[in-house]
């Protein structure tokens, strides 16, 4: 059922007033130095207080809990022990303490538009249900005009980021990629173009631009590239990669692209595709390599893990990660990655209801409106294609957090004025709480 423009404006105004009320309450609590029990902005203090009660933490996790309380780094052995822990609530307490220390009670989201410009790819990663050969029936390739038209429509809705990735296309030329970036940037110079995975950058450098990674990144940046995506990391271990995505770049090559980009002042996100053939030790090793690079460059803005969708024929026997496993993975990531400021729950993969629960397991960001996603949906994801701002804010408030719109670098953008054009609540938006 379509929501009328007036309904939309009214619900947006309600949220706006609701948030004003939170701020007034917070000021009141602050002046009285007395956190109110029902004030969601005061849950930060409650989180730390509950952490003080170590009786809620199982004996074997106490050493890690002490480190979390002292804001000390946990080791890989600690992380492995956390992964093996069956007490999900204890992990939630520890992850929440880290999350609230870094981000208070805020939970962010971004207004963004995904564009998958083509799924034609020269590789055939075993886990990938997205890629196609040029002659395959499901192959697609968007024209630059189609892409700019889609971005233009989304700009009217207030997006601050366009997120573009695709396959390793065999025939698109350098000029096409540059024109793509330049055309999108020409629509709005303030729009952040977050594009390309590390493997796409290597493909462009070695096969298309035929120059170094650094020169390729500089050329793309001059044309409009604003941030690099975190895709393609999968699991770093070489043997797992061989089973999952033979022929794709190695861990060292993925990390090198991000290291060079960070060295140029660029920012990117990091990802992990888990829940397939890897072990818990492989996950810890993956997190270790990310934490090491972040120590070196400080260039990662956030971490976005997602569970494998077991839909490809080759890996059809793999059982999808359960809800508990997904929450555990987020919580351990939050506790271990002490030098990452933000942890995102990718609702496209995990569903919005579970992403909402993840706000109590270390997550401080619900990603974005997305609008159209192909990679997970071609692999069988049953989640919607998009979320409205109203829905994202609603689930955040219901979870007891304070919603804030962010930009591509997780910077808060302040209060959003109600959008006056195309106010459309998508019929398939997932509402976790109605
Ligand atoms: S995962 Fe990326 S590189 Fe691998 S086949 Fe799919 S589109 Fe190509």
Q: With a cut of 90, say whether residue 317 has pLDDT above it.
A: no
Ligand 1 contacts CB of residue 125 (under 6 A): yes
| Ligand 1 centroid – CA 121 distance (Å) | 6
Of the residues 70, 103, 136, which one is the last residue of a structural domain?
Answer: 103
Distance from the alpha carbon of residue 274 to the mean position of ligand 1, in angstroms: 16
Are 416 and 375 within 8 A, CB to CB? no
Distance from the first to the final alpha carbon of the chain: 14
What is the rounded CA–CA span in Å between residue 199 and residue 253?
A: 8
User: Of 57, 87, 103, which closes a domain?
Assistant: 103
The total number of structural domains in the chain stands at 2
Ligand 1 near 236 CB (within 6 A): no
pLDDT for res 376 = 82
The residue ranking higher by pLDDT, 432 or 366, is: 366
- 3-state SS string over the chain? CCCCHHHHHHHHHHHHHHHHHHHHHHHHHHHHCCCCCCCHHHHHHHHHHHHHCHHHCCHHHHHHHHHHHCCCCCCHHHHHHHHHCCCHHHHHHHHHHHHHHHHCCEEEEECEEEEECECECCCCCCCCCCCECCCCCCCCECCHHHHHHHHHHHHHCCCCEEEEECCCCCCCCHHHHHHHHHHHHHHCCCCEEEECCHHHHHHHHHHHCCCCHHHHHHHHHHHCEEEECCCCCCCCCHHHHHHHHCCCCCHHHHHHHHHHHHHCCCCEEEEEEECCCCCHHHHHHHHHHHHHHHHHHCCEEEEEEEECCCCCCCCCCCCCCCHHHHHHHHHHHHHHCCCCCEEECCHHHHCHHHHHHHCCCCCCEEEECCCCCCHHHHCCCCCCCCCCHHHHHHHHHHCCCEEEEECCCCCECCCCCCCCCCCCCCCCCCCCCC
* Ligand 1 in reach of 375 Cβ (< 6 A): no
Residue 119 CA: which ligand 1 atom is closest?
7
Cα of 239 vs centre of ligand 1, distance in Å, is 18
- Indicate whether 305 and 324 sit together in one domain: yes
Closest CA to 251 of 281, 287, 275: 287
Spatial separation of the C-alpha atoms in residues 272 and 306, rounded to whole Å: 6
**Residue corresponding to tokens 């989304």:** 154
Q: Over 70: is that where the pLDDT of 139 sits?
A: yes
**Are both 36 and 24 inside the same structural domain?**
yes
pLDDT in tens, 212-265: 999 999 999 999 999 999 999 999 999 999 999 999 999 999 999 999 999 999
For residue range 110-129, list pLDDT tens digits in order.
999 999 999 999 999 998 98
Whether residues 233 and 300 share a domain: the answer is yes
- Cβ(157) to ligand 1 under 6 A? no
Q: Ligand 1, residues 116, 119, 126, 128: which to mutate, most atoms within 8 A of Cβ?
A: 128
Does 255 contact ligand 1 (Cβ within 6 A)?
Answer: no
Q: What order of strands is seen across the sheet that includes strand 192-195?
A: 112-116, 161-165, 192-195, 225-228, 268-274, 300-307, 342-343
pLDDT for 373: 79
Tokens of 92: 């939630």
- Ligand 1 centre to CA of 154 (Å) is 26
For the stretch 171-216, pLDDT in tens is 999 999 999 999 999 999 999 999 999 999 999 999 999 999 999 9
What's the CA-to-centroid distance between 250 and ligand 1, angstroms? 14
CATH number, position 344:
3.20.20.70
Residues 42 and 123 both lie in one domain: no
Same domain? For 175 and 69 the reply is no
Give just the sign of the alpha carbon dihedral 399, 400, 403, 408. negative
Give the number of the atom of ligand 1 that is nearest the alpha carbon of residue 121.
Answer: 8
Nearest CA to ligand 1 atom 4: 125
Q: Which domain holds residue 30?
A: 5-103
- Cα(209) to ligand 1 centroid in Å equals 20
Pair (126, 169) in one structural domain: yes
Write down the pTM of the prediction: 0.86
Q: Is the pLDDT of residue 421 over 60?
A: no
pLDDT of 20 higher than 80: no
Q: Please indicate, yes or no, whether residues 305 and 382 belong to a single structural domain of this protein.
A: yes
Give CA–CA dist 161/408, Å, rounded. Answer: 7
Residue 364: per-residue pLDDT: 98
Residues 153 and 223 in one domain: yes
- Same domain, yes or no: 74 and 116: no
For the cut 80, the answer to whether the pLDDT of residue 341 exceeds it is yes
Q: Could you say which of 68, 85, 103 is where a domain stops?
A: 103
With a 6 Å cutoff on the Cβ, whether 131 touches ligand 1 is yes
CA 334 to ligand 1 center in whole angstroms: 28
Pocket lining: 266 vs ligand 1, CB cutoff 6 Å: no
Residue 98 sits in the same domain as residue 114: no
**Nearest atom (ligand 1) to Cα of 122:** 8
Distance 380 CA to ligand 1 centre (A): 16
């Amino acid at each position: 059922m379509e929501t009328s423009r007036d309904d939309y404006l009214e619900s947006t105004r309600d949220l706006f007033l609701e948030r004003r009320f939170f701020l007034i309450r917070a000021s009141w609590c602050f002046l009285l130095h007395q956190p109110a029990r029902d004030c969601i902005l005061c849950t930060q203090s409650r989180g730390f207080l509950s952490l003080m009660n170590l009786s809620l933490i199982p004996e074997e996790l106490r050493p890690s809990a002490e480190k979390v309380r002292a804001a000390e780094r946990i080791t890989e052995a600690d992380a492995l022990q956390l992964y093996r822990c069956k007490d999900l609530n204890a992990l939630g307490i520890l992850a929440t303490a880290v999350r609230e220390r870094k981000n208070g009670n805020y939970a962010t989201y971004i207004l963004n538009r995904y564009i998958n410009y083509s799924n034609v790819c020269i590789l055939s990663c075993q886990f990938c249900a997205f890629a196609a050969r040029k002659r395959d029936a499901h192959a697609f390739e968007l024209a630059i005009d189609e892409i700019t038209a889609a971005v233009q429509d989304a700009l009217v809705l207030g997006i601050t980021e366009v997120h573009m990735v695709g396959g390793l296309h065999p025939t698109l030329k350098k000029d096409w990629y540059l024109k793509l970036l330049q055309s999108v940037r020409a629509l709005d110079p303030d729009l952040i173009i977050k594009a390309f995975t590390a493997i796409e950058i290597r493909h462009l450098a070695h096969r298309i631009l035929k120059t170094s990674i650094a020169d390729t990144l500089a050329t793309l940046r001059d044309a409009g590239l604003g941030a690099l995506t975190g895709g393609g990391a999968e699991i770093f271990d070489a043997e797992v990669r061989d089973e999952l995505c033979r022929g794709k770049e190695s861990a060292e090559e993925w990390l090198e692209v991000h290291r060079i980009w960070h060295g140029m002042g660029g920012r990117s996100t990091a990802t992990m595709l888990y829940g397939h053939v890897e072990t818990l030790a492989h996950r810890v090793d993956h997190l270790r390599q990310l934490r090491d690079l972040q120590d070196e460059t400080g260039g990662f803005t956030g971490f976005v893990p997602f569970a494998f969708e077991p839909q490809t024929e080759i890996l059809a026997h793999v059982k999808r990660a359960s809800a508990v496993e997904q929450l555990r993975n987020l919580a351990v990531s939050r506790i271990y990655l002490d030098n990452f400021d933000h942890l995102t729950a990718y609702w496209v993969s995990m569903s919005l209801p579970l992403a909402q629960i993840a706000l109590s397991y270390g997550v401080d960001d619900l990603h974005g409106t997305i609008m159209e996603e192909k990679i997970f949906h071609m692999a069988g994801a049953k989640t919607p294609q998009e979320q409205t701002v109203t829905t994202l804010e609603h689930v955040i408030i219901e979870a007891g957090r304070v919603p804030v719109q962010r930009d591509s670098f997780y910077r808060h953008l302040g209060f959003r004025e109600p959008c006056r054009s195309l106010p459309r609540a998508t019929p398939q938006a997932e509402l976790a709480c109605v």
